[in-house]
Structure 1
Amino acid sequence: MKLTVVGGGSTYTPELIDGFARLRDTLPVEELVLVDSAADRLELVGGLARRIFARQGHPGRITTTADLDAGVAGADAVLLQLRVGGQAARQQDETWPLECGCVGQETTGAGGLAKALRTVPVVLDIAERVRRANPDAWIIDFTNPVGIVTRALLQAGHRAVGLCNVAIGFQRKFAALLDVAPHEVHLDHVGLNHLTWETGVRLGGPEGEDVLPRLLAEHGERIAGDLHLPRPLLDRLGVVPSYYLRYYYAHDQVVEELREGPSRAARVAAMERELLTMYGDPELAEKPALLAQRGGAFYSEAAVDLAAALLGGAGSPYQVVNTLNRGTLPFLPDDAVIEVQAAVGANGAVPLPVAPLDPLYAGLVANVTAYEELALDAALRGGRERVFEALLAHPLIGQYAYAETLTDQLIAHNREHLAWA
Structure 2
Amino acid sequence: MKLAVVGGGSTYTPELVDGFARLRETLPVEELVLVDPAADRLELVGGLARRILARQGHPARVVTTADLEAGVEGADAVLLQLRVGGQAARNQDETWPLECGCVGQETTGAGGLAKAMRTVPVVLDIAERVRRVAPRAWIIDFTNPVGIVTRALLQAGHRAVGLCNVAIGFQRKFAALLDVAPEQVHLDHMGLNHLTWERGVRLGGPDGEDVLPKLLAEHGDAIADDLHMPREIVDRLGVVPSYYLRYYYAHDEVVDELRTKPSRAAEVAAMEEQLLRMYGDPALDEKPTLLSKRGGAFYSEAAVALASSLLRNSGEVQVVNTYNNGTLPFLADDAVIEVPAVVDGSGAVPLPVAPVEPLYAGLIAHVTAYEELALEAALRGGRDRVFSALLAHPLVGQYAQAEGLTDRLIAHNREHFAWA
Q: Fold conserved (TM > 0.5)?
A: yes
Aligned to 2:118: 118
Contact 1:77/1:139 (<8 A) preserved = yes
Q: CA deviation at 1:154?
A: 0.2
Q: C-alpha offsets along residues 191-248 of structure 1, whole Å, 9 cap, x if unaligned?
A: 0000000000000111100000000000000000000000000110000000000000
Aligned residue type for 1:361: Y
Aligned to 1:179: 179
Q: CA deviation at 1:388?
A: 0.2
Aligned residue type for 1:362: A
What CA distance in whole angstroms lies between the structure 2 residues aligned with 1:284 and 1:267? 23
Aligned to 1:197: 197
What CA distance in whole angstroms lies between the structure 2 residues aligned with 1:133 and 1:367? 38
Aligned residue type for 2:127: A
What CA distance in whole angstroms lies between the structure 2 residues aligned with 1:79 and 1:313? 18
Aligned to 1:139: 139
Secondary structure of residue in 1 paired with 2:206:
coil
Secondary structure of residue in 2 paired with 1:32:
strand
Aligned to 2:393: 394
What CA distance in whole angstroms lies between the structure 1 residues aligned with 2:100 and 2:339? 33
Aligned to 1:416: 415
Aligned to 1:71: 71
Aligned residue type for 1:66: A
What CA distance in whole angstroms lies between the structure 1 residues aligned with 2:116 and 2:302? 23
Q: CA deviation at 1:297?
A: 0.1
Aligned to 1:370: 369
What CA distance in whole angstroms lies between the structure 2 residues aligned with 1:261 and 1:125? 36
Q: CA deviation at 1:313?
A: 5.9
Secondary structure of residue in 2 paired with 1:276:
helix
What CA distance in whole angstroms lies between the structure 2 residues aligned with 1:384 and 1:118? 14
Q: Which runs of 5+ in 1 are unaligned?
A: none
Contact 1:26/1:313 (<8 A) preserved = no
Aligned residue type for 1:92: Q
- Equivalences for 1:9-20 in 2 at 5 Å? 9-20=9-20
Secondary structure of residue in 2 paired with 1:343:
strand
Contact 2:309/2:316 (<8 A) preserved = yes
Q: C-alpha offsets along residues 70-104 of structure 1, whole Å, 9 cap, x if unaligned?
A: 00100000000010000000000000000011000
Q: CA deviation at 1:136?
A: 1.0
1:361 aligns with 2:360: yes
Aligned residue type for 1:379: A
1:349 aligns with 2:348: yes
Secondary structure of residue in 1 paired with 2:259:
helix
What CA distance in whole angstroms lies between the structure 2 residues aligned with 1:7 and 1:126? 11
What CA distance in whole angstroms lies between the structure 1 residues aligned with 2:346 and 2:219? 39
Aligned residue type for 2:25: D
Secondary structure of residue in 1 paired with 2:312:
coil
What CA distance in whole angstroms lies between the structure 1 residues aligned with 2:313 and 2:85? 35
Aligned to 2:227: 227
What CA distance in whole angstroms lies between the structure 1 residues aligned with 2:351 and 2:148? 21
What CA distance in whole angstroms lies between the structure 1 residues aligned with 2:145 and 2:29? 27
Aligned to 2:381: 382
What CA distance in whole angstroms lies between the structure 1 residues aligned with 2:276 and 2:345? 36
What CA distance in whole angstroms lies between the structure 2 residues aligned with 1:179 and 1:186? 14
Q: CA deviation at 1:312?
A: 1.1
Contact 2:16/2:299 (<8 A) preserved = yes
1:322 aligns with 2:326: no
Contact 1:27/1:313 (<8 A) preserved = no
CA distance 1:33–1:174, shift in 2 (3 Å): same
- Equivalences for 1:9-408 in 2 at 5 Å? 9-312=9-312, 317-408=316-407
Q: C-alpha offsets along residues 26-72 of structure 1, whole Å, 9 cap, x if unaligned?
A: 00000000000000000000000000000000000000000000001
Aligned residue type for 1:341: P
Q: CA deviation at 1:409?
A: 0.3
Secondary structure of residue in 2 paired with 1:311:
helix
Secondary structure of residue in 2 paired with 1:187:
strand
Q: C-alpha offsets along residues 291-338 of structure 1, whole Å, 9 cap, x if unaligned?
A: 000000000000000000000166x71110000000000000000000
What CA distance in whole angstroms lies between the structure 2 residues aligned with 1:285 and 1:135? 34
What CA distance in whole angstroms lies between the structure 2 residues aligned with 1:235 and 1:58? 46
Q: C-alpha offsets along residues 267-301 of structure 1, whole Å, 9 cap, x if unaligned?
A: 00000000000000000000000000000000000
Contact 2:313/2:343 (<8 A) preserved = no
Q: Which runs of 5+ in 2 are unaligned?
A: none
Contact 2:316/2:344 (<8 A) preserved = yes
Contact 2:120/2:149 (<8 A) preserved = yes
Contact 2:109/2:393 (<8 A) preserved = yes
Q: CA deviation at 1:169?
A: 0.1
Q: C-alpha offsets along residues 354-381 of structure 1, whole Å, 9 cap, x if unaligned?
A: 0000000000000000000000000000
**How many residue pairs were aligned?**
420
What CA distance in whole angstroms lies between the structure 2 residues aligned with 1:312 and 1:156? 25
